[in-house]
Amino acid sequence: MIPGPRNLITDVPGLRVGNAQDAALKSGTTVLTADQAFTASVHVMGGAPGTRETDLLAPDKSVSQVDAITLSGGSAFGLDACSGVSDALRSRGRGYPVGDTVVPIVPGAILFDLLNGGDKDWVQNPYRALGQAAFDDADVAFALGTAGAGTGALAARHKGGLGSASLVLDNGVTVGALVAANPLGSVTTPGDRHFWAAPFEFGDEFGGLGSDSSAGLGFPAPSLKAQAMRLAEPDKGNTTIAIVATDAALSKSQCQRLAVAAHDGIARAILPAHTPGDGDLVFAVSTGAQTIDAEAGLGLIGHAASVCLARAIARAIYLATPAAGDLLPCWTAPHDKS
């Protein structure tokens, strides 16, 4: 396995990603789409998800393909970003055909960033416009860190962000991950220097500092997030939402298994993960471009997706940049490799 040429989910041919954000709002939206509908499913492991159209992605439901997937800040307000994406798709004649009309299928998920210091005193919900702007921005190259759905994200001890990573397998199949990381847990070991995902790093894609050699790391340093947001209950206001994708031809049920396997990446990169106060979920996407023996290869594809997701989470925090009014520091304080 080696990272793809961009080390982004868009190394999966045919996929595009767009971001839109508002600096004053300290929030934004990210959209994954393609020129053609693609097969998708989802698996939810967090206790507090915020979603749209995820029931439709169960293997026993009738619609197997979607036109876009939306990740957004804004908590429940952010689900309106899907409506903006749907508007943009409909204007292009894209969607599920029903008689002489089309209905765009746009599943989505949100994270909580309402108490991150941004100006949330809006008169009209801004996320519909952000969703349409993110769709219009979709391309193979896109920003990471403080961008899109990761704009206002916070981890336990650092500013969160938007991350992505990819791998190309020996058989030519490409796998990628896209994540907005806003977890309850910490992405670094005690001391805030080493990433939990370090064993899976390629090169110095998130600092190259290697693994923490200390023992007894099962209990990370106390969270600064709840205190910064003035929350009495630290298990409120979190979530890591992600998409993993491959060009291997997978069925809807196989996509669901891919989403299940990819959740291991969250557990490898964040401690603790999948808590009652997180809405952790992973969408899984197949463009179907590569015909393989999916039954034989699905295990390796799932493992690659989990590795990509762990790396993408670390990259999200590593690439976050400071902005006025931030509640938590970025990881990018001086860190040497000694």
Backbone torsion region of residue 85, taken as left when φ is above 0, otherwise alpha when ψ lies between -120 and 50, otherwise beta: alpha
pLDDT tens track, the chain, 338 positions:
899 999 999 999 999 999 999 999 999 999 999 999 999 999 998 888 899 999 999 999 988 899 999 999 999 999 999 999 999 999 999 988 888 898 999 999 999 999 998 899 999 999 999 999 999 999 999 999 999 999 999 999 999 999 999 999 998 999 999 999 999 899 999 888 899 999 999 999 999 999 888 867 888 777 888 778 776 566 667 889 999 999 999 999 999 999 999 999 999 999 988 888 788 999 999 998 888 776 778 999 999 999 999 999 999 999 999 999 999 999 985 455 54
The verdict on pTM exceeding 0.85 is: yes
pLDDT of residue 338: 43
Environment class of residue 226 by beta-carbon count within 10 Å: exposed (0-12), middle (13-18) or buried (19+)?
buried
- Hey, how many other C-beta atoms are within 10 angstroms of the C-beta on 128? 21
pLDDT of residue 70: 97
Q: In whole angstroms, what is the distance from residue 242 CA to residue 262 CA? A: 9
290, HSE (Cβ side, Cα atoms, 13 Å): 21
Please choose, from the candidates 166, 154, 114, 207, the residue with its C-alpha nearest in 3D space to the C-alpha of residue 1: 166
Backbone torsion region of residue 218, taken as left when φ is above 0, otherwise alpha when ψ lies between -120 and 50, otherwise beta: alpha
Q: In whole angstroms, what is the distance from residue 169 CA to residue 293 CA? A: 14
Q: In whole angstroms, what is the distance from residue 173 CA to residue 61 CA? A: 27
**Backbone dihedral angles phi then psi of residue 77, each to the nearest 5 degrees:** -60, -35
